[in-house]
Every structure is written in C-alpha cells, then in structure tokens.
Amino acid sequence: MTENQPTIATTIADFITAITKALAAAQLQADEQARALAAQEGTEVIYRDVTLGFVPTMGALHNGHATLMRRAAEQNDVVVSSIFVNPLQFGPGEDYERYPRTLEADAALAGEAGVQVIFAPSVEEMYPDGDPLIRITSGELGTKFEGKTRPGHFDGVLTVVNKLFNIVRAGAGDHEVNAYFGQKDAQQFVLIQRMVHDFNHSVNLRPVAIVRDDDGLALSSRNEFLSPAEREAALVLSRTLALLRENSLNRGFEGIDLQSARERINATEGVRLDYLELVDPHTFGEPTEESERVLALAAIFVGSTRLIDNMDLR
C-alpha cells in the first residue's frame, strides 16, 4: 500500500459519503488556513469554498489519465475519480469483455496523481434493473464519425456520465464541481458539453489536451492490445495527422489533401482506415475557410484494435 492510497468506494452511497467527508475535511483545513493567514497578517479572515475535481474513467489508467488527475489536483481541493467499464457504450462484438481491468494498479496511479476517492462500482450497482429503460440519446451528432461505426456508443456514454454527474453532485452539495475529460475523445467531449447544457448539469467541463508517447502515438488504454509490430504500424495515424497540420499551417485550407492522407493510412500494412474527416470542433459540422479552428479526426483499425486520434490543423 502506498502512502497516497485512495479510498475505494464500490457503492453509490459510500461514494457520496466519501465525497462529502473529503470536502468537509478540506473545508475545515481551508478555513483554518484562512484564519492563520489573517492572524499572521493582521487582516480580516477571507474564507473560500473548496472545490471538487472529478475524473471519470474506464480504468486501465495510463499517463493520459494521470495528466487529467494531476490537473484536477492542481485546480481543486479534493479529487475523485470513477473507474467503470460501462457496458452500455460497447456494441456487440466490441472489446467489452477484453477491456483491461486493473483496479490495483489504477488505484496506485490515481493516488500518486492526487485522487482521494475512487468509485469502482459493479455493473449491478450502476444498473440494478439490468439494461436501463431510460437512456440519454445523443441525437444526429451521435450517429456520425465514432457513432457511425459504433451505433449507440454515445447514448451509452451520455447515460453513464449523466448518472455519474448526478451521483457526484449529490456528494458535493453546494461545492463547485469541475469534471476533466481528455481531448482525444473530441466528439465525446462536445456531446457531453451539449448534455450539460441541455440538462442544466451544475458541473464545469475542463478539457485536457491529448497526451502522446515520445513517438507521437496518442495514449490509450487500447494501446495495450497492440503487438510491437502493430504499435509501429499505428504510428501512421499521428504521423498523417501531423503532416496534415504541417501542410495546413504552411499552405492554409488548400494544403489539406485528405484523399492522399487516407491513402497513406490504408497503404500501411495491417492498418485499415475507418474514417478521416475535418470538423469545426465547436459544432462538429463541416469546417469552412473562415472556421476559427479545424480539427482532423480519424479512427483506424490495427489488427482487431480500434484507435482514434485528432489534431488541430490551425
């Protein structure tokens, strides 16, 4: 057991209690510090409300998750994380069963990164009545790009995130909640943003830039499935996106040759392109010359492993 071992809650009730307790302890400490500072400087006491950082994950944590957690710890007094491989967001024949489950190692990594409480529920705890009757639907955007290849995926993501936000809010009371999401899942982020807006969730969303290995491969729990040869082949994805960015920076919109980029990916042995498209990241609609930002968005199959990545071209 390391010094920073987080508390692990497996029930919703225990998680809510653990959040409330951690926030109460942090508030006491912040109040004491405020009083000590005022006494030292001979000024009035200025109290501040402590905040909660929340990092939802499916576990198999890597440095990308640690970056989200460290960011949350820098910006909040208490950090909690969920580890739940959500069956609703996997389609038939996808990798739900083989998705890595590594709770012990995850708890150590999360603790080192500043997480105080982990919520690791069973499927029965999250969905006690089996398949939930009521789900969030992700609309037209949920059927494009990732949603086209993975029908129902985003409905599953939004349904669980909606539930997690409600649970975390129940523990946080009046304290501000900031939730951290990686930008590798750019479409997921935009959909969660829409859900927060449409459902009036009182949670601030904090996007965090993609974390890459030194050779450019975006960190993903699914990288674990790659053999050394497949990992090498997978590099074509980030390299192609980087080339598109370079051409776009040098020659503007005109310089973006999607067709050649697609061919380059498909010409790589063992790699099959799912999609490579350009979007305006604010709307996920088609970008124009005038778009402030243009995002190249791609998914590939390397053997049986599906990887996604994206890059800002402006």
Stretch that binds ligand PAF, among 14-22, 90-98, 140-148, 157-165 (CB under 6 A): 157-165
Long-range pairs for 149-153 at CB < 8 Å and ≥24 separation? Answer: 149/274, 149/275, 149/299, 149/306, 150/91, 150/94, 151/91, 152/88, 152/89, 152/91, 153/89, 153/90, 153/91
* Residue 185 found at the interface with ligand PAF (CB under 6 A): yes
How many C-beta atoms surround the C-beta of residue 277 within 10 A?
Answer: 17
Active site residue 65: yes
Nearer to ligand PAF among residue 58 and residue 218 (C-beta): 58
Per CB under 6 A, 86 contacts ligand PAF: yes
- # residues contacting ligand PAF (CB under 6 A): 10
Q: Is residue 227 classed as helix, strand or coil in its secondary structure?
A: coil
User: Would you say 116 or 180 has its CB closer to ligand PAF?
Assistant: 180
157 touches ligand PAF (CB under 6 A)? yes
- Which among 138, 129, 181 has a CA at the least distance from the CA of 159? 138
Site string for ligand PAF, 23-62 (x = CB under 6 A): ---------------------------------xxx----
Taking the complex as a whole, how short is the minimal distance between the CB of residue 146 and ligand PAF, in angstroms?
10
By CB under 6 A, which span of 42-50, 153-161, 247-255, 304-312 interacts with ligand PAF? Answer: 153-161
Residue 60 CA: distances (Å) to CA of 51, 63, 102, 164, 296: 26, 10, 6, 19, 26
Residue 69 near ligand PAF by CB under 6 A: no
Q: Residue 154: which region, alpha, beta or left (left: phi > 0; alpha: psi -120 to 50)?
A: alpha
Q: Are 135 and 159 in contact (CB under 8 A)?
A: yes
Round to whole Å and give the CA distance between 84 and 224: 18
Choose the binding region for ligand PAF from 123-131, 155-163, 272-280, 291-299 (rule: CB under 6 A): 155-163
The reply on whether position 161 binds ligand PAF by CB under 6 A is: yes
Active-site residue, from 65, 153, 175, 201: 65
Q: Which is nearer to ligand PAF, 58 or 72 (CB)?
A: 58
Residue 160 touching ligand PAF (CB under 6 A): yes
**For residue 233, which of 273, 183, 202 has the smallest C-alpha distance?**
273
Where in the sequence numbering do the catalytic residues fall?
65
Q: Where does this chain bind ligand PAF (CB under 6 A)?
A: 56-58, 86, 89, 157, 160-161, 185, 188
